[in-house]
Amino acid sequence: MTFLEMLERYRVECGVSGSAITDVTAVTGEHLRLRNWLQAALLDIQSEGGGLWEFLRAESSHTVPIGGSLLNIAEWAAGAVNKWKIDEFRISAYGDGRALSVPLQYVPYDQFRNGIGLSVTPAAKPLYFTVRRGDTAILVSPQADQVYTLYFDYWSVPVGVDDDADVPVLPAQYHMLPVYRAMIDYGYFEAAPEVLARARERHDEMMFKMKVGYLPGPTWGGPLA
């Protein structure tokens, strides 16, 4: 569904009177409140589970310049990165494909800063990387002795909807999920228990299914000594 279709469906599901919504940017009054709740619900859903949804995962590459150690990766500079997938950082000679790349070894930031990050080792092919605290910048070591290609995966920040034709990043079968979550806000605001009960039931069932299908599965520790 488009954002316009979702908003109109939301209006109908809540039983809000008035004419059909035909332009999300022109709504006022109660319809404006519905739009704001729906936009907030979509962003909230994407933030659950640490934002590690498969539909928010992306892959890209970056050219590491000669002497490069602090990387100005475009997606990071644009504020699009929520979290790096640190087990998917790879490096290759410039222009070589991912198939010819080798993994970079992740080092925790404090260890990197107080160890290899201070190394005066001559420039060479980067072997290690870290994620700087606070701003998620990527640093590599040693500094690059020539141009390389860095391959990486990351999870993007939540993606909002603003215009009529915008389509949520959620898989199509879950486009009603933010509608149901927004209906909960409407139910509380309007003291409408029948809307609230229906929304909670459908929301919880759909959210459970989406978590099972699109969030990382549980991980288990090693055997006890």
> Whole-angstrom Cα distance, residue 167 to residue 35?
14
Residue-wise pLDDT for 142-176, tens only, equals: 999 999 999 999 999 999 999 999 999 999 999 99
CB distance 62 to 150 below 8 Å? yes
> Whole-angstrom Cα distance, residue 146 to residue 68?
9
Where the chain has pLDDT below 50, the residues are 220-225
Q: What is the pLDDT of residue 219?
A: 53
CB distance 68 to 137 below 8 Å? no
> Whole-angstrom Cα distance, residue 9 to residue 176?
9
Choose among 207, 181, 159: nearest CA to 57.
159
Q: What is the pLDDT of residue 118?
A: 64
Residue 131 burial (C-beta neighbours within 10 Å; 0-12, 13-18, 19+): buried
CB distance 122 to 142 below 8 Å? yes
| 142, two tokens | 């040693």
Q: Give the single-character DSSP code of 217.
A: P
Q: What is the pLDDT of residue 115?
A: 86
Q: What is the pLDDT of residue 119?
A: 67
Q: What is the pLDDT of residue 120?
A: 61
CB distance 173 to 180 below 8 Å? no
Phi, psi of 202 (to 5 degrees): -70, -35
Choose among 22, 30, 29, 5: nearest CA to 192.
30
3-state DSSP assignment of residue 18: coil
